[in-house]
Structure 1
Amino acid sequence: MGYASHPEEKSDPVARAESDLSLEVVILLVFGVFMLLFGLLLFRIHTGELPYAPDSTYGLFLVIVSFQIVTMGKTPFGDLRRSWAVIVLGVCTAVIGMAACFIPGLLAEPVRILVGILLSAGGAALLAQLFFSEDKARLWLKIPGILRHLTVACIIVYVVSIVLGLVTLLPGITTDSVTAVLLIVYGVGFFYLAWCIQKANRLYPPEGTQ
């Protein structure tokens, strides 16, 4: 069944306007909302006002990561070509994440360790790529404007990712309140990074989109 067109909709540019947000930016926004909300709720979880299932939280994180891997080939350790191996890797990650969400306690330790490794080792790998790749920070810092903002945003996200990964692997090294603040900073960092990428894509459109 089709949808009938209405004349008033055709004359309304707002109704016809489409978002120019890229899939990468949308996923970053989802990550930002996830981390920000988790950080805010963790204050009340710490006081016992809200129930908390760590497995489900880690599982949901893995599902979001898997979506990024499958759709764009972007892994926590860097970008890869979307081969079948990468897609299978993403699907397997999603299955593990969903299992952790659906059956709390089944994969408690393995999922926690996996998420900790993805955050810490992934953040370290991305930070190294940022500074050692000739087409990233080395180039971006030479150009005033949004590319410098992009460099700062990447540094914030990657460094906080490393710290949160260590907190996940070694839960006793900090308090829940500090972890909550780190999560909020992480979420804001994702929003900042998403804004930078969106603006950079507008100023420097990828080849083939001009």
Structure 2
Amino acid sequence: MLTRSAPRWRKPADVPLEIVILWVAALGAAITGVLLVPISQGVLSYYEDGLYGLVLFVFALQAVLLGVTPFGDVRRSPTLIAAGTVIAAAGIVNCFVPDLLGEAPRLLLVVCFGLGGATQLLCLFLGGRFRLWWRGSRELRRLALACVVVYSLAVLVALILLLRQAVAVAAVAVAAVAVTVLTYGVALFVLAGQLWAVDRAFPQQAQARAGDAGGLVTDHTLMLLTGIFLVLLGVLLVPVNLGVLPFSGSAQLGLLMVIFAVEMLASGSTPVGVFPRTWLMIVVGLVFAALGIVSTVIPYVLVPTLTVLIGLLNIVGGVLTLVRNVAPLFTKRDEESPTAPRPPVLIRLFMAQLAMGLLSIAFGAAMLLPGLIPGLVLGLVLAANGGVLLYMLHLLLVVDRQRDASAAPA
């Protein structure tokens, strides 16, 4: 009997995490390049701090998830993860509160793009990698060329950031900037494709590089960044509601969508549960990323749509979390030993998951029904949501250590 193979969109997507993050960065650059033309003509408004904060957040993602920095690849360590977390926090704050950090984010990006791109370019040639790759296979030669283009364009982007005021007053210069940023995005897509081709051509090296990550695993790192996002959002909402600070709700929704997108692309994790990492999930993740990028850069335009979408996702995810944790209480816990005590850490994890479900429902309801929860209280709810998520991360690390200790030979 013949069986039909599953359609491509339902097949597992074995895409390396490095490629996923590059896709998000490339999508951000390409969308920004396209939007700069109507922005320069006054057709669309522009939130510069949102763009800078988003780029800083993507740089931080590469550092904490992959050990990839603007100046080269390093082994992930607690120090690198801490530094990347600080940069991610700076990007989050810069998205949320306009002008709070002044010129610091722009100057930091100048260093990352300019000095980082120039350093990578010099290391590529002076370190001998370009010559080695050029003498190698077709995939390595294409990778060498893609790296040269990306690093050179990064230096050009840094120059644009330095000359921001001069560029803003010239229509021709704005068009040149749009083309440069769009080209940089396309170059990042090409670089991602060549890296993936090299990984397929040399799977042993790809596995060795992935196995040398060190530090937190991907899911735990994303939990850390999401928890920090929610804590910072909740804390900042207090002075915002008191009228002390301005606030960009559009960038808040956009950055949250980007976080959702990275979780989907990296592991198939969504606000309503974990699904197989198929090509359909990859496409949905890229759509989420695109919506988040637009909302971060262009204020207000997607706020109504994203408010409803994120509100519904949080409510459904919270309800499913409660169902998954409460339902087992009404079933036989352990057929062999129904009275066996649960380890204390699992009890605390169970309670944290229940709290997370309730807080997610409260947050989603507040988004769908403005005024249901006062602004100051909503800030506390979000901060508590982030705090519980960080506490869950701590408990999961404790469970992992206990499992490793029990599995170790005596």
Deviation at 1:14, TM superposition (A): 4.1
Contact 1:55 1:107 in 2 (8 A): no
Letter of the aligned partner of 1:201 in structure 2?
D
* Residue of structure 2 in register with 1:44 after alignment: 38
Q: 1:118 is aligned with what amino acid?
A: C
Counterpart among 131, 142, 149 of residue 125 in structure 2? 131
Q: Which runs of structure 2 are paired with 1:61-210 in the superposition (5 Å)? A: 61-134=55-128, 136-174=129-167, 175-207=173-205, 209=207
Deviations 1:64-108 (A, max 9, x none): 110110011110111111111100110000000000000011123
Shift of 1:166: 1.4
Amino acid at match of 2:154: S
CA radius of gyration, larger in: 2
1:22 correspondence with 2:16: yes
| In 2: Cα distance, 1:38 partner to 1:188 partner | 12
Q: Tell me what 1:6 maps to.
A: none
Amino acid at match of 2:102: A
Q: 1:151 to 1:15 in 2, by over 3 A?
A: closer
Q: 1:128: Cα distance to partner?
A: 1.1
Check whether the contact 2:199–2:206 (CA below 8 A) recurs between aligned residues: no
Give how far 1:209 is off.
3.9
RMSD: 1.8
Evaluate the alpha carbon distance shift between residue 14 and residue 91 of structure 1 in structure 2; reply closer, same or farther with a 3 A threshold. Answer: same
Give the structure-2-normalised TM-score.
Answer: 0.47
Structure 2 portions without partners, runs of 5+:
168-172, 209-410
Distance 1:22 1:208, change over 3 A: closer
Output the amino acid matched with 1:149: R
User: The residue matched to 1:19 in structure 2 has which SS?
Assistant: coil
Q: Residue 184 of structure 2 aligns to which amino acid in structure 1?
A: Y
* Number of positions where the alignment pairs a residue of Structure 1 with one of Structure 2: 200
Cα distance between partner residues in 1 of 2:5 and 2:191: 35
* Long gaps (5+) in structure 1: 1-9
2:49 to 35, 52, 55: 55
Worse-matched range after superposition: 142-151 or 40-49: 142-151
Distance 1:104 1:118 in 2: 21
Is the contact made by 2:33 and 2:177 (CA closer than 8 Å) also made in structure 1? yes
Instruction: Please state how far the C-alpha of 1:173 moved relative to its aligned partner.
Output: 4.9
SS at match of 2:203: coil
Report sequence identity in percent: 37
Would the alpha carbon gap of residues 108 and 180 (structure 1) be closer, same or farther in structure 2, given more than 3 Å must change? farther
Query: Counterparts in 2 of 1:2-13, with a 5 A limit?
Result: 12=6
